[in-house]
Amino acid sequence: MPQTAPSPKQPSPPATHVRLRGWLIVSALLLIVIGAGVFYYLLRPLDAPIPAGAGSHYQGLEQGYTSQGFPRLGRADAPVLIEEFSSYACPHCREFHEGRFVTLLDAIGAGRVQFVFIPIPNIGWGAGDAAKGALCAGEQGQFWTMTDVLFDWQRRFLTSTFDMRRIRKGAQALGLNMAAFDACLKRDTVQLVLEQARQEFTRRGLTGTPSFFINGRKVEDYHELDALVSPQGDDSTAP
């Protein structure tokens, strides 16, 4: 019987081509996963709760701003000036705000103390956006209330705490004029205040928040702040 010639074998693709196709498939899958994650991140709902009692501590207290645009609580001619360099993303700053700061409010209301809050935008994720939100709320008389809200969020949320969408929803929940709020966020004025805060932080040789000064002298012990709670300004309240 006549023998048929064997059909020629198809050449196998080079191994490098196989590896290339595999990398292309893996890369495409990664892009799909990343794209889905970004899509979810951009569209997921964000809660912006306003804690009960936010802003209630400051009723009747004089509020204003320093020449550099830093928010001030209390009379400008009070004999004791406390300056706090603070970040909304700093856990110790939140602990101070929710603890010792509240004990100073009577002294502030009595005219013995003025308290200046200097927002540092570059310590902690989202601190800059949070500071912008607080300063822009301040243009409508709600700086200290928004500060209460932002520190509450720091404790409440684990991720995306200071997403600008959450900050805007919070401003809306406070009843702010959103057109004015959004316009403030875009102006250079707020960024200038934050830049001055950063420069002052560097000028005083600071490395972390919170940092405090009493009449220009750096506070080394919180008991120095506790002493100001006393009407006589002595250290009788310090343990």
What is the DSSP secondary structure assignment for residue 65, as one 8-state letter? E
Answer whether 224's CB lies under 8 Å from 84's CB: no
Residue 94 lies in a domain: yes
Q: What is the mean pLDDT of the chain?
A: 87
The b/e string for 218-229 (b: 16+ C-beta within 10 A; e otherwise) is: ebeeeebbbbbb
Rg (CA), the chain: 28
Peptide bond into 210 cis (omega under 30): yes
Q: How many CB atoms lie within 10 A of CB 126?
A: 22
In a domain? residue 47: no
What's the order of all strands across the beta sheet hosting 71-73?
Answer: 63-65, 71-73, 113-119, 80-86, 211-214, 217-218
Q: What is the pLDDT of residue 3?
A: 59
Q: Around Cβ 125, how many Cβ atoms within 10 Å?
A: 12
CATH classification at residue 89: 3.40.30.10
Residue 186 lies in a domain: yes
- Is residue 54 within 8 A of residue 152, CB to CB? The reply is yes
Residue 26 lies in a domain: no
| Residue 198 domain boundaries | 71-229
pLDDT > 60? residue 106? yes
Chain segment 57-81, per-residue pLDDT in tens: 999 999 999 999 999 999 999 999 9
Model-wide pTM > 0.85:
no
pLDDT tens digit sequence for 132-141? 999 999 999 9
User: Which residue, chain included where needed, has tokens 């023998």?
Assistant: 3
Q: Is residue 33 a part of any domain in this protein?
A: no
Strand partners, 116: 72, 83
Query: CA 159 to CA 137: how far, in whole Å?
Result: 23
Would 58 be classed as within a structural domain? no
**pLDDT band (50, 70, 90) for residue 86:** very high
| pLDDT at position 217 over 60 | yes
Structural domain contains residue 56: no
The answer as to whether 218 is a domain residue is yes
- Lowest-confidence segment of 16-25, 83-92, 134-143, 196-205 by average pLDDT: 16-25
| CA–CA separation, 39 and 217 (whole Å) | 49
The band of 228, judged by pLDDT with boundaries at 50, 70 and 90, is: confident
- Give the chain's domain count: 1
Q: Is the pLDDT of residue 238 over 70?
A: no
- In this structure, the strands spanning 217-218 and 211-214 are antiparallel
